[in-house]
Amino acid sequence: MAYLDHAATTPMVPEAIAVMAEELARTGNASSLHASGRDARRTVEEARELIAERFGARPSEVVFCSGGTEANNLAIKGLYWSRRAQDPARNRIVFSSIEHHALLDPVTWLAKHEGAEIEMTPVDTTGRILIDELRAAVERDPASVSAVTTMWANNEMGTIQPVSEVVGVARAYDIPVHSDAVQAAGYVPLDFAASQLDAMTITAHKLGGPVGVGALLIRRELEATPLLHGGGQERDLRSGTLSVPLIAAFAAAVDVTVGRQAQTVEGIEALRRRLVEGIVRVVPDAIVNGDPEPGPDHRLPNIAHVTFPGCEGDAMLMLLDAQGIECSTGSACAAGVPQPSHVLLAMGYDDVAARGSLRFSLGHTSTEADVDRLLQALPAVHERAQRASLVRGGS
């Protein structure tokens, strides 16, 4: 099998597997006062300290959640409810048109059920937000904005967003800013304090950790309304018994992945170059989307998003899958939904082009053999998908 879908989830690193297995054999609720509970609490707090150190945050700013979706929901709903409670006029949310559904759907839910006024700002043809448009949206009535949110790096294109510029716009009016950094973590340097963000989402399973745990980094001074109420864990922002094995494995994965980041990124960028150059060579009409320039101000090193004119992306995906090559038509969270990517539509693509695209994403286990296997299979798969599309069009 050639696994080229690391942006959906990446295999756990051995260190995280070992730590998780060890912790699964132990008993102890981190909220209990006896010895087992204190041991569990120590494990959690050591993990919190490590994650905070690696991402430039204070330990008290790390709030453990079940993953990126919950963290995004807590950030945007929590900030909206808290700010609106302080001032009912603060009912507006400004966000980009390329957000992951884990952010897009909570925002639209707030509009439908909580009376939020939402404003989606456009992007350019590479998938990068237009900062002047965002500034205009904020400055039209800054006193009404409860929060601004923009992802650090797009999950389909890999295009990195001008987060510091977004923060600069919002800070002038004391508006909190959140960023979904799920895809960026482990591939570009992230420093929560230096970014001046108010909240930032990360998750374990994109970093070589387990599915089911993530964190919202949120400034201690910032008020947010919790989604869950119960035992008051995690600063009373996220009640619920903490999963010590998941948290410990999360920290182990962060330690390994961020520690090796520079070396790993260099190798993955070289593999991506081999992949992209090979695709254009064997399928000359293929179009590589997103920012063509590498680097932490341009795009992630591991994602290659490609449009194949005259083909259905779903058909190509299944033909590749039949040969043991796994990739994606976009976000895994939207897999199986027969609709074009909202990211590509926001970038100016029409429905046909948006449906005819694939995302290939690399990670720490990727090899040249994975890339070469794709390149060997791609010409025949492309030809067959084109024929199938012509038949459907003719009928």
Of residues 355 and 52, the one with the higher pLDDT is 52
The residue extents of the domains of the chain are 2-9+261-394, 14-258
Q: How many helices (H) does the chain have, and how many strands (E)? A: 13, 12
- Residue 104 burial (CB count, 10 A): 20
How high is the pLDDT of residue 350?
A: 86
Q: How far apart are CA 81 and CA 225, in angstroms?
A: 6
CATH T-level assignment (fold) for domain 14-258: Aspartate Aminotransferase; domain 2 (3.40.640)
In this prediction, residue 355 has a pLDDT band, given cuts at 50, 70 and 90, of confident
Q: What is the pLDDT of residues 194-246, one digit of tens each?
A: 999 999 999 999 999 999 999 999 999 999 999 999 999 999 999 999 999 99
Burial 59-95 (b: 16+ CB within 10 A, else e): eebbbbbbbbbbbbbbbbbbbbbbbbeeeeebbbbbb
Q: What is the pLDDT of residues 31-83, one digit of tens each?
A: 999 999 999 999 999 999 999 999 999 999 999 999 999 999 999 999 999 99
How high is the pLDDT of residue 388?
A: 84
Q: What is the pLDDT of residues 275-321, one digit of tens each?
A: 999 999 999 999 999 999 999 999 999 999 999 999 999 999 999 99
Q: What is the pLDDT of residues 120-175, one digit of tens each?
A: 999 999 999 999 999 999 999 999 999 999 999 999 999 999 999 999 999 999 99
Active site residues: 333
Calculate mean pLDDT across residues 258-267.
95
Q: Which two tokens stand for residue 372?
A: 């070469």
How many CA atoms are closer than 13 Å to the CA of 374, on its beta-carbon side?
31
Does the reported pTM lie above 0.85? Answer: yes
In this prediction, residue 394 has a pLDDT band, given cuts at 50, 70 and 90, of low
In this prediction, residue 392 has a pLDDT band, given cuts at 50, 70 and 90, of low
Domain 2-9+261-394 identical in fold to domain 14-258: no
Amino acid identity for residue 9 in this structure = T
Asked if 59 contacts 52 with a C-beta cutoff of 8 angstroms, the reply is yes
pLDDT over threshold 80, residue 335: no
Amino acid identity for residue 287 in this structure = I
How high is the pLDDT of residue 33?
A: 95
CATH H superfamily, domain 2-9+261-394: Aspartate Aminotransferase, domain 1 (3.90.1150.10)
